[in-house]
Amino acid sequence: MYRTTQSGRPFNVPCHTMPSSLRHLFVLVSTSLLLSACGTSLQRAPVEDRNPQSPKAVAPAVPASAASAASAPDAKPPLPGAENAGKPGYYTVKPGDALIRIALDNGQTWRDVAKWNNLENPNRIEVGQVLRVVPPGVDASAVTAKPIASAPKVESRPLDAKPPVAAASAPVAPPSSNTSAAAASDDDNLAWGWPVAQPISAGFDEQRNKGLDFAGKPGDPVLAVADGRVVYAGSGLRGYGNLVIIKHNNTYLTAYAHNRAMLVEQDQVVRKGQRIAEMGSTESDTVKLHFEVRKLGKPVDPAKLLPAR
């Protein structure tokens, strides 16, 4: 053990020289200090939370189906006319379709089809959209046309664009009331004429040639085969070139393709034998007229309708 001198310097004092009472006291103090030190190092004071907080609210579990529905984009509304899909007198738009082709294949004008379906922009129709292709109030099952196989591809061009008119045609008076009455009473009772003076160069074939072809020279006259109204004059159908379509009544349309020049405008009334175009080779490798007759939209053999020469 240590003792200190008056100067504060320690000096060693052997334990056996201490009185027994002092040695006993020293042992007790040393033991207490040791136990106190050991107790301090082994035990920790409890931690008291002086700022207790209420437990956080736990959101209820969301079912997986509801979560996926919430994250999924809003469902698209059904396309116009979807409730009429598959019904007679209605047509479901397919990829590559254009209104002029749909109208032609159903024996209608594109303007009428646009009006019956409230189309603000006739150049915008959607795949899957269902269009009415017969007049409202008409028995669709009686007039629905047979689908046309392997139709030419359609080129998207504005329907309202008016084609250039190469030459002014003579003013034409509207059809007489007698003609209109005859057409209304019997659409098949048409006074047909020939579209050109040239002979037929290729006959009708339901699969490969849906009309008649006539070879000729550039500028040869093309004539209306019956009284009617021009419902299309343009180049919006690929494969037909400059095309004129005339509606004669509710049953018959005629089409005149590959013209060099078109001499009539859309909505113009024409008479049988009137010059409506000049023969040409637009979208054709030879100069020719391709002539079609559509009965309720279905191609029929014009040779069976045209008069004998």
Judge if 249 and 296 occupy the same domain.
yes
Bridge partners (DSSP) listed for residue 229:
247, 269
Tell me, what's the pLDDT at 25? 56
Query: Counting beta carbons within 10 angstroms of the beta carbon of residue 188, is it exposed (0 to 12), middle (13 to 18) or buried (19 or more)?
Result: exposed
- For the chain, what is the domain count? 2
Q: Kindly state whether residue 77 falls inside one of the protein's structural domains.
A: no
Is 143 in contact with 89 (CB distance < 8 Å)? yes
| HEC per residue, 44-100 | CCCCCCCCCCCCCCCCCCCCHHHHHHHHCCCCCCCCCCHHHCCCCCEEECCCCCCHH
Q: Are residues 185 and 292 in the same domain?
A: yes
Q: Which residues constitute the domain of residue 282?
A: 177-304
Q: What is the CATH number of the domain that holds 244?
A: 2.70.70.10
Q: Verify that 123 and 227 share a domain, yes or no.
A: no
Tell me: do 136 and 218 sit in the same domain. no
Do the beta carbons of residue 261 and residue 167 sit within 8 Å? yes
Phi and psi angles of residue 185, each rounded to the nearest 5 degrees, phi first: -80, -35
Please check whether residue 115 lies inside any domain of the structure. Answer: yes
Q: In tens digits, what is the pLDDT along the chain, a chain of 309 residues?
A: 545 555 555 555 555 555 565 566 555 555 555 545 444 444 444 444 445 555 555 555 545 544 554 445 566 777 888 888 889 989 999 998 888 889 888 888 888 999 999 998 888 899 999 999 988 887 766 654 444 333 334 344 455 544 444 443 333 444 444 444 444 446 788 999 999 999 999 999 988 899 999 999 999 999 999 999 999 999 988 889 999 999 999 999 999 999 999 999 999 999 999 999 999 999 999 999 999 999 999 999 999 999 998
Domain of 135, CATH number, reads 3.10.350.10
pTM score, two decimals?
0.60
**154 located within any domain:** no
Q: Could you tell me if residue 261 is inside a domain? A: yes
- 272 and 224 part of one domain: yes
Domain boundary residue, one of 96, 117, 143: 143
Same domain for 201 and 98: no
pLDDT of residue 145: 42
What was the pLDDT predicted at 181?
41
Is 2 within the bounds of a domain? no
Reduced to 3 states (helix: H, G, I; strand: E, B; else coil), residue 130 is strand
Rounded to 5°, angle at Cα 254 from 211 and 223: 95
Look at residue 35 and tell me if it is in a domain.
Answer: no
